[in-house]
Structure 1
Amino acid sequence: EWRVISDRVQAPSGLGYAMENRRIVSQVVPELFHGATLHRIEPYFDALREALIAAAPDARPDARVVVLTPGALSETAYDQAFLAGMLGFPLVQGADLVVRDGKVWMKPAGWPEVTPRERVDVILRRVDAEWCDPLELRGNSQLGVAGLTEAVRRGGVRLVNGLGAGVLENPALLPFLPALCERLLGEQLRLASTPTWWCGDPDALDLLTPRLLGADPTVVVRAIDGPRTPLDASDPARLVDRIRHSPHRFAAQELLPLSQAPTWRSPGQVDARPVVLRTFTLRHQSTYRPLIGGLATAVADAALPTASKDVWVLKADPADLDQGLPDATTVAVVQSVPEVAPRALDDLFWSGRYAERAEDLLRLVLAIRSDADQLTAPGLTAAQSTQVLVGATQRLCGTRWLDLDDEFRSVLLDGARPGSVAHSLSRLRTTLEGVRDQLSADTWRVFAATDRAGAALRITPHAHGIGEAAGQMLTALLALQGTSANMIRDAGWHMIETGRAIERALQIGILLRATMVDRLVGDVEQEVLEAVLRASESVVTHRRRYRGGLYASGVIDLLVRDPENPRSLRFAVARIREHLAAQPLSTGSTRPERLLDQLEAQIADVQVADLAMAIDDRRSTLHDTLTDADAQLREIARAIEALHFSAGPPLQTYASLSLTELTGALS
C-alpha cells in the first residue's frame, strides 16, 4: 500500500541526487541498464528549465533565472549545485543579489558605486522562506536578500516556490485533505496520507491521549510551526500537558511499517532496510507532471549511514516518450551569458592559487626526494644540498619534524599545517565547492585521486611511499588543469588563470631566494641547480637552451627573465596581465594594471649578469629583486581583490546594528 508521509514545498531537494544516482547505476551495471526500457530522467530537467523560464514576470525568452543557495555548507549543497549545472542557471547566494527599484539584480563588483546591469527575473530558491529576507522576515539571516519580499509583492521577480508555500508542509493539513479534495476538485483523494490527527480537534485529542500516556511507540507528535523532528516523548505526562496548553500547535502521526529493500552493507553481505520513495511534481504548461522514477532513501539506523537508491519505472511500450514529455521545447533558443558574481570570481581566483601552490610544493618534494635518493655516497655533499632544498619547503610551510621522512609525510598529509599540500588541497576543495555549478564533474575525480594517494601513504611505513604519493597527487592536479582548460573563456576562467599565474610567480621567487641567493661551491651548487630546474619543470628547456653546462646565470635567466618559459617570473607576470585584461572592470589603467606595468618594467630592465653576480658569496641583487617582486605581486593580488571581488560592505544582521546605525541606514 502506498501512503504519503509528508510534503516538501519550501525548498525541496533530491532531484539532483536522483539524476546522479541514475548516472552511477548506468556505469556500474551498464548491461542491465541498457537492456531495460526505463524512463530517462533528462527530459524532466528540460521541462523544469522551460517552466522556470516561462515563470518570468514579463514572459521573455531571455529571462534571467538563478538558483538561490544557502552556500557550500548546506547539507544539500551538492544537490543544489548539480541542479543548477543541469539547468544551466547560475548558482547564487544572497550576498550575490541586490534589490533596487523593486527588482532583483546581480550585484556587480564595486557596488554600490557601480550600477547593477543584470536583472534577475526568476529565483529558484533553495533557502527556507523565513531566511529569504532579513528586512521583513528573519532579521538575523545572512542567507537572503534584503527587500526580496517587497520585490515579489511588486511583481519585479518571480520566486519559485513562493514564500507562502511552506504552509503546505503543515502536517495538521493531512487529516483534511480527503474532504478538501472532494470540495475543490470534485473527486476522491487518489493517494492517502499516513494516519494523522490535528490536536486542535477535541475528538482527535481525546483519541490520542491514552496512546500518548501509554508511551505508544507508533505515535509521534510534531509542532505544526517548528522543525520536522518529533517532540521528545520520554516524559509522556509532560508531553500531554504541553499539547493541552496549546493543542492547535501540534499534530500526531502514526509510524507505519515501511517496505524493505536489499542494501549492501559490506562485500558479500546484504541487509533488508526500510525505504522511502521521494517523488517530484512539476507544474509544466497547463498540468502537473510527476517524475517517473527517481529517488528512494534507505532509512538509516544507528549502525548504518543513510543511503539512496535509483528508482526505475519501465515503459509499457519501448516507443513511449520518456517522462511522457515531447523532445521539442516551446522555449525560444536565446544565447545567455550570465555575469559571474564577485564572490564566485573570488573563489575561482583562489582556486587557481591553491592549485598552483599545491602543485609547486609537490614538485619541490619530488625534487628533494630525487636529490636525496641519487646521492648514495654519505657525506657533506648530500647533506648540504638536501638541506638547502629543504629550506625552500620551510619557507612555504614551516618546520614540524627533524626527521626528513616524517617531515615530508606531514607536508603531504597534515591539513592543519598552513602551506602544506594537504592544507592547499583542503582550501582548493572549499573554494571549488562554492562554484560547483560552473565546473565539470571530472573536477571532483581530482580529489578522489589525492584522497586515495593520501590514504595509501598513511598505511605504508616505507619511505618510497612518500615519492609515490606525491607523484600521484601531482598527476591528479595536472588533470585538474585539463578540466579547467575545457571551461568557457569567461571572466571566471580568466580569474582562475590570474590566480594561478600570481601564485606561480610567487613560488618562483620563494624557490630562488631559498636556493640561489647564497652561492654554493662545487658539486653542491650543481646538485641544487639541477633540483631547482626539476622543481620548476625546466630541466629539458635548460638543456636545449644552455648547452654549455649548468650555471647559475643560465638558471636565473631561464626562471626570471625568459619571456617564453612558462615557468619564468617574466612569463607569469605577462599572463597575469593577459587574463586580467579580460575582466569586465579592467580598462588598461586600473590600479592592478598600473602595478603590473611597474613590475614588468623592472623585470625587463634587470640584467642577468647583475642577478648572478655574488659578492662575499651572496647574490644581493637577486635577493632584492625577488623580494621586491614578491611584495609587488602581493600588492597586485590585494588590488585585484579590492577592484574585482568587492561588492559592498560585509553582511551584517539587523540585530547587530545599533539604533543610530539603523536610523542612518534607513534615512
Structure 2
Amino acid sequence: MNPPTATTDAPYRPLDGCYDEMVDARGETREHWTPLAEALRGLGTAALLDRRAEAARLLDQDGVVYHAYEDQRSDAWLLDPLPTVLTSREWLLLEAGLIERAELLNLVLEDLYGARDLLRRGIVPPEVVYGHDGFLRACDGIRLPGTQQLFSYAADLGRDASGAWVVVSDRAQAPSGFGYALENRLVVSRVLPSLYRDAHVHRLAPFFRQLRTALQEAAPPGVDDPRIVVLSPGPWNETAFEHGILASTLGYPLVEGADLTVRRDGVWMRSLGRLEPVHVILRRVDGDSCDPLELRADSLLGVPGLVEASRRGVVSVVNTLGSSALENPALLAYLPRISRHLLGRELRLPTVPSWWCGDEDGRAEVLARLDELVVRPLSRGAGSATVFGWELSNHELEELRARIEARPGAWVGQERVITSSTPTLTDDGLVARRSLLRSFAVARNDSYAVMPGGLTRVAPDDGDGRISNQAGAISKDTWVLASEPEHLTGFWLQTGPVVEGIDPMAQVPSRVAENLFWLGRYAERAESVTRLLRVIDDRRTEFEGSDNPAGVEALRTLLQAVTRVTATEPGFLGDGASQRLASPGTELRDLVIDERRPGTVGHAIRGMLGAAYAVRDQLSTDTFLVVGTLDRTIGGISGAARAATVQAALGKVMQSVLAFSGLAQESMVRDLGWRFMDAGRRLERALQLLALLRATVTTDRGTAADSLVLESVLAAGESLITYRRRYRSQAQLATLLDLLLLDDGNPRSLAHQLARAAEDLAELPAGSGRLREDQRRVLEASTALQLADVGGLALSGADGDRPALSAFLDEQLRLLEEAALALERDHFVHRLPQRTLS
C-alpha cells in the first residue's frame, strides 16, 4: 500500500535497492514516522511548499550562507523543512557506537604523536601515516590537559541496504556543521512548531553547554578562568557563518590569525591599545595553516609561533594541531585491526570497507574492481580528487589504473555505499533522495558527549553521486524522538557568587574595531549617495529634455555634483561628459549597481556586507535582516536597464540603510565597538555633506537655477521639510548654511556630526592621556564651525564664485579626512606583508 504522503500529485516512491527512512520493504510507513507522515498528508504539498519558502526567508534573515572561496560568492544555505526522524532506542545504539569510535580515534591520535606503538608493532604501515599530509611532524609531542587529545569529532554516516549504519568518513581536523545543525533546528521548529512540540525531540542546547564546559576544561594547568577565542580563516571561508554563530552562542570573541600574537609567556589577542591573554583557541583553520613558521610557510591565516606555544603548553588549541591525521582515508583500512589491538573488540559501528593500494593484497582488490569502487588519493598532493569508478570510461579507467600502479601508496579504494533514501520536499511533492548524517561528539570527562541527531544532507537530485555542500546538497534537521519527557540539566542560570564581567575593551580586537568603523562609514555612504541619486532622479523627471534653462542648469549641476561627491570620474565631468549629461540614464544606473566601482551605491553596500560578515559575532541576528535585503536588492537589478527598476531599488536601499541605522541606535550596547561604528557614521556623514555643498553652492548660478539647486541640496540632506517649516518661502543660502552647518539640533547638520564624533572619540583608548590627533582635528573643525559667519560665507564675488565658502568647506574636509586617517593609524593594526623564510 502507499504510505501517507504530503503530495497530492503522486504517491511517495522509495528508491530501488536501498533502505528508506520513512517506509519499509513492504511499502508501509515505519511506526516512528507515522505521526509525522499523517501530519504531512494533512498539510498537503501547497502548504509544505509555503513552509519551505518561510524556512528560506528565515535563513535569509539570519544571514545563513555557504561561501565559495574562489569568487567571494555567497550561496544560500539550502534547508528542507522535513526532518529526518530517528527513534530514541536506535539513537542510543548509534550514540554508543559514536562514543566508542571517538574514544578509539583519541587513542590513535595520542599514539601517532606520542609513542607510535601502532607503527612499531606493524599494526599500521608507517607509509600510511607519514604519506598523509594531515600528519604534521612539527606537532609531535603536543598534548592537551587531561586524557582527551581529540577534543571534538564528527562522523559521516550512511545506512547500507539492510539499514545498518556504516561510517563513511571521520572528521577530526576542525569538524564543521555544529552551527548549521543548530540553525536548522531553530528554523524548522519555527516553520513546523506544532509538529516539533508533539514529537518530543531531544534538544541540542545541552550539547552546546557541554562544548562550552569542555573548552573551559581544556585550559592549560593553573588557569582557573580561561580566556577563550574562536579562530576563523575570515569572513569568506566556506563555513564563516558557523564560526560567527559558534562565537555568539558560546560568548567568545571571533578572531583571525592577525588578531593574535605569540610572546614568550603565551598567546595574546591584540585588543584596542593593549594585549589580552588567550588560553584556549577553538580553531576553525586547517591545522597546516595555523603557523607559517613551522607548518605552511605561505599561510596568511595562522599565528607565527603557535606550534611552539602549544608545545610548551601555554595555550590549548582545539582540535589539537595535527588531528587531521585521523582523516587519512587509508587509516580506515586498518581501523578494525587497530580496534582489536587497543580496545580488544570489533567496533560497534563498522567502517566502509577500504583498501590501501600500498598493500599488495589491497592493490589487487582495488585494481580488480576499479569500475565499482570509490578511489581516493591519500593526500591532496596526489594530484587528483575523489573519483567514482563506475562513472569513468574505459580509457579513464586505464589512466587511473596506470596512476595507481605508478604510485600505489598514494591511493585508497573504498566500497561504494548506496546510502538510505529519505523523503525530501520538491515542487512536485515528496521524493526519495539519498542522504548522509553527520553527527558530532565533544570531550566530556574521560569520554564524549554526542549531539542528539546532527546534520543530515541529501543529494540535490535522484542520482547517487557525492553528497556535499559543494555539490549543492540540501540540509535537513535530524530529530531524535524522546521516549519520555526529557530531563533538563546543565542550566545556564547559576547560583552562587556574582561573576565578574569581562572588560568590554578586552573583547574588541583591532580588526573588529576597524570593520565596525568601516561598517558605519559604508552604511552612511550608501545612504548619502542614495539620497542624492533619488533627488537627481526627481529632477530628471522634471527637466531632462526640457527647454527650461534654469531647470536644465540645475540638473546639470546636480549630475556634475554626484560625480564630484562620489569621486567616480569621468562620469559627468571630463571627456564624454556632454553626451552623458544629455542622456544620463546609463551612468546613473551604474552609480547604483556597479559594485566594483568605488563611490557607487553598489560598492558601498558590498563594503558594508563584507564588514558585517567580518564581525558577525558582534551584531544581532536582526542586523542580517537588513544586510540580506541589501545584498538581494543590488544583485536583483544588476542587469536591469529600466529607470523604474533602479528607482525602486533606490527605495529599497534607503529602507534597508535606515533600518540598519535604527538598529544601531536602538539595539546596540554603547561599547567600544559601537563607538567606532558611530564615529565612522558621523565622520562619513560630515564628509558627504561637505562634499555636496562644495559641489553645489560655491557658485552663484542665478536666482532661478539656484532655487532649484538649494531645494535639491536640502532634500538630499533630509532637511527640506524642516527648512520650509522654519523659513517658509524665504529661501536664502545663508539660512541653508545655518541649518546644514551650524544647527546642532538638526541631526543632519555638520555641527551635530562633529559633536557626536567628539563624544565617540572621547570614549576610545586615550594613550598618553592627551588629546589624540583625531580628537584635535575634530576639535579644530568644530571650533572653526562655531566661529563661522554664514552671512559672509554666502557672499558672491564678481565672477559668481563664493571663495570664502569654498575655502571654509575645503578646510573642513581636510580636517575631517585627517581625523579619519589618524583614527585608523592610532587604533587599527595593519600587518606588513608576510614573506616566507624559504
TM-score by length of 1: 0.90
Deviation at 1:269, TM superposition (A): 5.7
Q: Summarize the Cα distance change of 1:232–1:18 in structure 2 as closer, same or farther, 3 Å threshold.
A: closer
What corresponds to 1:642 in structure 2? 825
Q: 1:229 aligns with which of 382, 385, 400?
A: 385
> In terms of mean alpha carbon deviation, does 189-198 or 514-523 score higher?
514-523
Determine whether 1:145 maps to 2:328.
no
Determine whether 1:393 maps to 2:559.
no
Q: Summarize the Cα distance change of 1:224–1:449 in structure 2 as closer, same or farther, 3 Å threshold.
A: closer
Determine whether 1:578 maps to 2:759.
yes
The answer to whether the 8 A contact 2:778-2:819 is kept is: yes
Determine whether 1:273 maps to 2:433.
yes
Q: 1:510 aligns with which of 667, 691, 697?
A: 691
Q: 1:289 aligns with which of 449, 471, 481?
A: 449
Deviation at 1:508, TM superposition (A): 0.5
> In terms of mean alpha carbon deviation, does 550-559 or 198-207 score higher?
198-207
Q: Any idea what SS the aligned residue of 1:118 has?
A: strand
What corresponds to 1:5 in structure 2? 168
The answer to whether the 8 A contact 2:220-2:314 is kept is: yes
Q: 1:352 aligns with which of 484, 507, 520?
A: 520
Determine whether 1:367 maps to 2:524.
no
Q: Summarize the Cα distance change of 1:118–1:458 in structure 2 as closer, same or farther, 3 Å threshold.
A: closer
Q: Summarize the Cα distance change of 1:550–1:160 in structure 2 as closer, same or farther, 3 Å threshold.
A: same
Deviations 1:356-399 (A, max 9, x none): 00101111122223344466985223222222222221111342
Deviation at 1:327, TM superposition (A): 6.0
Deviations 1:428-458 (A, max 9, x none): 1112221111111222222332344446656
Deviation at 1:528, TM superposition (A): 1.8
Match runs of 1:271-350 below 5 Å: 271-300=431-460, 305-317=472-484, 319-321=485-487, 333-336=499-502, 337=504, 338-350=506-518
Q: Any idea what SS the aligned residue of 1:19 has?
A: helix
Deviations 1:244-283 (A, max 9, x none): 4554443221121122234445x34655332111111011
Cα-Cα RMSD:
2.7
Q: Distance in 1 between matches of 2:405 and 2:457?
A: 35
Deviation at 1:556, TM superposition (A): 0.6
What corresponds to 1:166 in structure 2? 324
Q: 1:446 aligns with which of 626, 634, 655?
A: 626
Q: Any idea what SS the aligned residue of 2:352 has?
A: coil
The share of aligned pairs that are identical, in percent, is 39
Deviations 1:319-357 (A, max 9, x none): 2136x7666779984422343111121111111111100
Q: 1:106 aligns with which of 256, 269, 287?
A: 269
Match runs of 1:515-526 below 5 Å: 515-526=696-707
* Equivalences, count: 644
Deviations 1:113-147 (A, max 9, x none): xxx53100000011111111111111111111111
Q: Summarize the Cα distance change of 1:175–1:492 in structure 2 as closer, same or farther, 3 Å threshold.
A: same
Deviations 1:603-625 (A, max 9, x none): 22221111111112221111111
Determine whether 1:406 maps to 2:561.
no
Q: Distance in 2 between matches of 1:443 and 1:610?
A: 45
The answer to whether the 8 A contact 2:184-2:477 is kept is: yes
The answer to whether the 8 A contact 1:13-1:80 is kept is: no
The answer to whether the 8 A contact 1:140-1:655 is kept is: no
The answer to whether the 8 A contact 1:170-1:225 is kept is: no
Letter in 1 for 2:527: E
The answer to whether the 8 A contact 1:142-1:651 is kept is: no
Q: Any idea what SS the aligned residue of 1:163 has?
A: coil
- Segments of structure 1 that go 5 or more residues without pairing to the other structure are 111-115, 657-667
> In terms of mean alpha carbon deviation, does 27-36 or 2-11 score higher?
27-36
> In terms of mean alpha carbon deviation, does 604-613 or 480-489 score higher?
480-489
Q: Distance in 1 between matches of 2:690 and 2:201?
A: 58
Q: Distance in 2 between matches of 1:328 and 1:186?
A: 43
TM-score by length of 2: 0.72
Determine whether 1:218 maps to 2:373.
yes
Q: Summarize the Cα distance change of 1:488–1:53 in structure 2 as closer, same or farther, 3 Å threshold.
A: farther
Q: Any idea what SS the aligned residue of 2:433 has?
A: strand
The answer to whether the 8 A contact 2:373-2:413 is kept is: no
Determine whether 1:499 maps to 2:680.
yes
Determine whether 1:609 maps to 2:777.
no
Q: Distance in 1 between matches of 2:358 and 2:642?
A: 69
Q: Any idea what SS the aligned residue of 1:175 has?
A: helix
Q: Distance in 2 between matches of 1:182 and 1:103?
A: 40
Deviations 1:230-256 (A, max 9, x none): 269764455445444554443221121
Letter in 1 for 2:817: R
Deviation at 1:44, TM superposition (A): 1.8
